[in-house]
Structure 1
Amino acid sequence: MTDSPAARLQQLFEGHRLTPTQRRIAHSMVRRAADVPFLSSVELAEVAGVSQPSVTRFAVALGFDGYPALRKYLREVVPPGPGPAGDDLNEYQQAVRAEIENLRHLGELLADPAPVLRAARLLAASRPLPVLGLRAAAAQARGFAYFAAKVHPDVRLLDEGGSLLTDRIDHARRAGATTLLCFALPRHPREVVDALRHARAAGLTVVTVADSAFAPVAAVSEVLIPAAVGTGLSFDTACAPMLLGRVLLEAMCDELPDAQARLEEFDSGAAARGLFVE
């Protein structure tokens, strides 16, 4: 399968130690992979919300003489995408179009299922399984934990911060947890980074679903699988991270030998109680 423009950009950034500002530029370039080879340094700076000199320093950090050399390289190695068609769409339609692109990029990423399969094995083996998500990511963590509890014997949702968060991580570790799953979405709370650092120090393996491979949580995650968020509306949209969470659930079910039996038991109990309206 031919690498997508986003995948080729990811490969360009791998192995470089980037500052937070540079990670922001890299993230913006991945989101705009199809047209970034044709943006000026000023335009890229506007897209990323940084200064033009920051774009120049970013290009140098990647080993180029300056931004023109980086753009020339991108035009040679990043194939042009379908282009920014749909200029006549309204802002709501554009937001939907952007989410479709995010899902397409996720589909390309999943062509190599190895990271998901590795993560699933780690999640399935952890008893209990703590699932962390604060602020914008709380809904993703809560959704995963709700469904995971139907097949996993002990899922512990960590969706509230504060001084008790590290206590709850420690409690899970003492109870036998070996892995913590984190959903991390912008804006990234400092508390999440601190919590993951604490989890690793306690001996937990950290698996993270984040909006970018360059997110602040990357440095404190053993396994990070990216799924971009949409930024076209006042508040970010997270269709791709949600779908990636369901993919992890599916792969985790395959690692749990009694998952199907647990689901059938739940369905029988729900039917007996008349839990759902048919």
Structure 2
Amino acid sequence: MENKVYDLIARIEDGLGRFSKGQKLIANYIIEHYDKAAFMTAAKLGEVVGVSESTVVRFANEVGFDGYPKLQKMLQELIKSKLTPVQRLEVSSNRIGEENILKSVLQSDMEKIKVTLEEIDQEAFNKVVESLINARKIYILGVRSSATLASFLGFYFNIIFDNIRLVHTTSVSEMFEQIMKASEGDVVIGISFPRYSKRTIKAMQYVKSQGATVIAITDSKESPLAAHADLLLTARSDMASFADSLVAPLSVINALIVAIGMRKKQEVYDNFEKLEKIWDEYEVYEKYDNVGSRKNKDY
């Protein structure tokens, strides 16, 4: 992906000799500030560099894109794995006004779910469900912010299945120690979103070489995880300031849990019946009587 960034920048640099004066201003700004340009409208970019919106549109056409939105989309896709937390803070401060933070973030998350719904491959989703149901053993791995997604998936899969291994790791060596027995008949789910985890990518590469079926849950077909995956589920992620917005990926994971739960309804029912007795006996959850008051308990 990093090479594609420089391919685009190189294409723009190569055109500097033929660009008009206004287009050169746009080109130089993108070369030096593509992280900021990626989130500007054509009108805003034109305002920043001192040219008209139509000049920005013509520039996009000149460098091989069918309109400015295509150029902007490519920049957005390509920079996600490159932005540092400091750059994220700078970019997001320009995108989100302090007085509208709640509204802006919630609307952005809603849009990511909408786009994910439009883009996700239903056939791939169905194949993922089948492969998990038929798996000998299921490994789930995700690190850094994706660890929360892996833990959520692991929590519910442990209720549904008897063959789950949630990979806990703080180092590459620990990860390989936990997945070294994965082989043909096993399924490994790797979860990672920009900035992509090298540990997760290396682990997926290894288990695939051992014959395991590899499922990637990531943001796009261009993700480095996709190259090592037998099955791919994509969900749009975004950056909410320095924090990752993983609402859409969590929604896809939730759908996966529900789909498998429906297929294994009796096992889930039986397991929850046992769990309810355990929860009652060991007072795991607060109890309420029929009028909504808490029951008195000795603690």
Same fold (TM over 0.5): yes
| 1:175-231 deviation line (CA, Å, top 9, x unaligned) | x75211111122112121111000100111111111222111110111111112221
The letter of the residue matching 1:255 is R
| Aligned mates of 1:130, 1:158 — CA distance in 2 | 7
Q: How does 1:39-188 map to 2 (within 5 A)?
A: 45=34, 46-48=36-38, 67-72=62-67, 90-110=100-120, 113-160=122-169, 161-173=171-183, 178-188=186-196
| 1:16-53 deviation line (CA, Å, top 9, x unaligned) | xxx43437999xxxxxxxxxxxxx7756933449xxxx
Change (3 A) 1:133 1:47: farther
Report the CA distance between 1:172 and its aligned residue: 4.1
Report the CA distance between 1:129 and its aligned residue: 1.0
| Aligned mates of 1:273, 1:151 — CA distance in 2 | 21
Unmatched runs of 5 consecutive residues or more in structure 1: 1-18, 27-39, 50-64, 79-85
The letter of the residue matching 1:144 is L
Q: Pick the aligned partner of 1:205 from 206, 209, 213.
A: 213
Q: How does 1:260-271 map to 2 (within 5 A)?
A: 260-271=269-280
| 1:100-139 deviation line (CA, Å, top 9, x unaligned) | 10011122235x5222111011112223211010112111
Checking the alignment, whether the CA contact within 8 Å between 1:184 and 1:210 is kept in structure 2 is yes
Query: Any idea what SS the aligned residue of 2:244 has?
Result: coil
Checking the alignment, whether the CA contact within 8 Å between 2:235 and 2:252 is kept in structure 1 is yes
Matched, 1:193 2:175: no
| Aligned mates of 1:239, 1:47 — CA distance in 2 | 25
| Aligned mates of 2:226, 2:175 — CA distance in 1 | 20
4+ residue stretches of structure 1 with deviation over 3 A?
23-26, 40-49, 65-69, 72-75, 86-89
| Aligned mates of 2:7, 2:162 — CA distance in 1 | 42
| Aligned mates of 2:178, 2:246 — CA distance in 1 | 27
TM-score for both structures, normalised by structure 2: 0.64
Checking the alignment, whether the CA contact within 8 Å between 1:130 and 1:177 is kept in structure 2 is no
Query: Any idea what SS the aligned residue of 1:258 has?
Result: helix
Checking the alignment, whether the CA contact within 8 Å between 2:139 and 2:165 is kept in structure 1 is yes
In structure 2, the partner of 1:4 is none
| Aligned mates of 1:118, 1:260 — CA distance in 2 | 24
Checking the alignment, whether the CA contact within 8 Å between 1:127 and 1:154 is kept in structure 2 is yes
Q: How many residues align?
A: 221
| Aligned mates of 1:206, 1:275 — CA distance in 2 | 36
Checking the alignment, whether the CA contact within 8 Å between 1:131 and 1:156 is kept in structure 2 is yes
Unmatched runs of 5 consecutive residues or more in structure 2: 9-25, 40-59, 74-95, 288-299
Checking the alignment, whether the CA contact within 8 Å between 2:261 and 2:268 is kept in structure 1 is yes
Change (3 A) 1:263 1:72: same
Percent identity over the alignment? Answer: 17
| Aligned mates of 2:137, 2:220 — CA distance in 1 | 27
Q: How does 1:221-232 map to 2 (within 5 A)?
A: 221-232=229-240
Report the CA distance between 1:232 and its aligned residue: 3.3
Checking the alignment, whether the CA contact within 8 Å between 1:23 and 1:215 is kept in structure 2 is no
Change (3 A) 1:72 1:200: same
In structure 2, the partner of 1:36 is none
| Aligned mates of 2:122, 2:260 — CA distance in 1 | 13
In structure 1, the partner of 2:52 is none
Change (3 A) 1:276 1:212: same
Report the CA distance between 1:262 and its aligned residue: 1.9
Checking the alignment, whether the CA contact within 8 Å between 2:190 and 2:217 is kept in structure 1 is yes
TM-score for both structures, normalised by structure 1: 0.68
Query: Any idea what SS the aligned residue of 1:167 has?
Result: helix
Change (3 A) 1:238 1:128: same
